[in-house]
Amino acid sequence: MTALPFDNSYARLPERFYARRPPTPVAAPRLVRLNRALAAELGLDPDWLAGPDGVAALAGNAVPEGADPIAAAYAGHQFGQFVPQLGDGRAVLLGEVLDRTGQRRDIQLKGAGPTPFSRRGDGRAALGPVLREYLVSEAMAALGIPTTRALAAVTTGEPVVRETLLPGAVLTRVAASHIRVGTFQFFAVRGDVEGLRALADHVVARHYPEAASAANPYRALLEGVIAAQAELVARWLHVGFVHGVMNTDNMSIAGETIDYGPCAFLDAYDPGTVFSSIDRNGRYAYGQQPRIALWNLTRLAETLLPLLAEDEAGSVAEAEAALASYAARFETAYHGGLARKLGLAETRDGDAALAGDLLKRMAENRADFTLTFRTLCAAAERPEADAGVRDLFVDPTAYDAWAKDWRGRLAQEARDPAETAAAMRRVNPAFIPRNHRVEAMIEAAVERGDFAPFETLLTVLSRPYADQPDQAAFAMAPEDGGVGYRTFCGT
């Protein structure tokens, strides 16, 4: 078998960090999709990956030379309840490669069979969730949002048993790393300070090398993760993304979006929107995501207390000081992004209130989130295009009252209207993974073996900021505004 250029740093950590476990072979692997551009970015040979030996590796039927398959150990708070041992129950990290820029990237098989962390599960993945994660993670990458990536999707030729029999599949996921807040919690709950220190040193070297030279490297590490997460969640809000399961084991230390289970995107704007069928109390609603990110980061800070100072009082002071930076970092990222979405290049007093007023009026009038901001691009250039925005509001006069203030603010900008509109189109997508389109794609693949909708949607979403007039139907909201839409975790 052709060797992949593995260099497996995590597998060189102490063995209590993981369980060595090869993927479990499947009956009849078939390649559904290979991300050739990503393969080339990773320095891999797309033609080899698409061939028999490559598909065998992507399905878990063969372990490539240089791989060191492991299932990582971690803990986590799930909907606020702490579970001291979770771990990779259906995923196997094949190893790490250095991409063409020298960045270290994990290559993981998701749905690769049972591991010691499977908790009586089968360790497999159904086709629907695999296609959802492939599509949405690649859409997020095209939107410019830090995310894990999808290298390949392979069907297994075997059914998985959920509420019914479903076709099985394996996703090959690429990540800066799969280290989570829950990874730190795994060692903290066991009082394993040596393990915590080894993990923290590994994360500093891999993700935050500048922290190594700081006066307090572990506080600098915490501050780095806080900054990355504040920026990430702000970007989620800018495109109407709802993660759905922001458990601490689903928060990446690297600042990437990870684990696309019951995720979805807003249609009609409502900050209280919840999609996940198991989020009965709205813990992970769209508008709650910034607060939950801080809650998760506080749990991370708690794990680092033994490393932050010599005594408990000093450690708590260091942690609190670091966490105090979150609010300002998030607000700066969030309001800065909203200002750009409204065509404002200069920062002025009142900009945050102007954006907040629009969002309030959108919520009251069930205006579609993505369409409102995209249609505003034309309105910034041509006032007669206001008609398109007004049509999105139950009461069009609610937009009129706001638009007067908006145009007054735009008049203070140095750019001409055409430049403003062009800048707005670069940050306001025309195309997102509309929930009804994602569901239709999954149904076609699962029920009829038809992957054409998947390929079409993937192509459209690869250029989210382009108008694509021939694909305009994919930009439209569902007729019912997405009311009552629910997602499921897919495990």
Flag whether 173 is marked binding: yes
State residue 1's pLDDT score.
39
Co-location of 226 and 164 in the same domain: no
**pLDDT at position 120, please?**
87
pLDDT classification of 489: cutoffs 50, 70, 90: low
Mean pLDDT of the chain: 96
- Say whether 144 counts as a known binding-site residue: no
Pairing label, strands 264-265, 149-161:
unpaired
Query: Is residue 91 pLDDT above 70, yes or no?
Result: yes
Q: What is residue 280's predicted lDDT score, i.e. its pLDDT?
A: 83
| Res. 401 pLDDT band, cuts 50 70 90 | very high
Same domain membership, residue 406 and residue 257: yes
53 is in an annotated binding site: no
| 452-460 average pLDDT score | 98
Is residue 170 located within the same domain as residue 241?
Answer: no
Angle 14-20-24 (CA atoms, 0-180°, nearest 5)?
165
Does residue 355 form part of some domain? yes
24: in domain: yes
pLDDT exceeds 60 at position 2: no
- Domain range for 136 is 9-178
H/E stretch holding 233 reads: helix 217-238
| Pair (413, 296) in one structural domain | yes
The residues annotated as belonging to the active site are 249
Count of structural domains, the chain: 2
Residue 204 in any domain: the answer is no
Using pLDDT thresholds of 50, 70 and 90, give the confidence band for residue 490. Answer: low
426 labeled binding residue? no
pLDDT above 80: residue 195: yes
Q: Is 191 annotated in some ligand binding site?
A: no
Looking at the domain assignment, is residue 320 inside a domain?
A: yes
Q: Is residue 223 part of a domain?
A: yes
The arithmetic mean of pLDDT across residues 58-80, rounded, is 96
pLDDT band at 4 (very low <50, low <70, confident <90, very high): confident
- Residues 163, 247 share a domain: no
Percent of the chain predicted with pLDDT > 70: 98
Q: Are residues 158 and 230 in the same domain?
A: no
User: What DSSP string describes 174-221?
Assistant: EES---BHHHHHHHHTTT-HHHHHHHHHHHHHHH-GGGGGSSSHHHHH
How far is Cα 57 from Cα 448, in angstroms, rounded to an integer?
26
408-441 pLDDT per residue, tens: 999 999 999 999 999 999 999 999 999 999 999 9
**281 plus 376 within the same structural domain:** yes
Least confident range of 16-30, 117-131, 145-159, 469-483: 469-483
436 shares a domain with 358? yes
| Calpha distance 198→117 (Å, rounded) | 22
Does some domain include residue 271?
A: yes
| Whether pLDDT at 160 is above 90 | yes
Q: What pLDDT, on a 0 to 100 scale, did the predictor assign at position 337?
A: 98
Are 20 and 147 found together in one domain?
yes
Give yes or no: residues 360 and 412 share one domain.
yes
Q: Which DSSP string do the residues of 7-19 spell out, in sequence order?
A: --SGGGS-GGGEE
**Span 36-64, average pLDDT:** 97
Domain-embedded: residue 465: yes
Whether 190 is in a domain gets the answer: no
Confirm whether residue 259 is marked as ligand binding: yes
Higher pLDDT, 277 or 352: 352
Is 90 among the annotated ligand-binding positions? yes
What is the average pLDDT across 328-350? 97
pTM score:
0.96
pLDDT digits (tens, 9 = 90+) for 111-156: 999 999 998 899 999 999 999 999 999 999 999 999 999 999 999 9
Residue 3 reports pLDDT greater than 80:
no
Asked whether residue 421 falls in the same domain as residue 303, the answer is: yes
**341 assigned binding-site residue:** no
Give yes or no: residues 413 and 480 share one domain.
yes
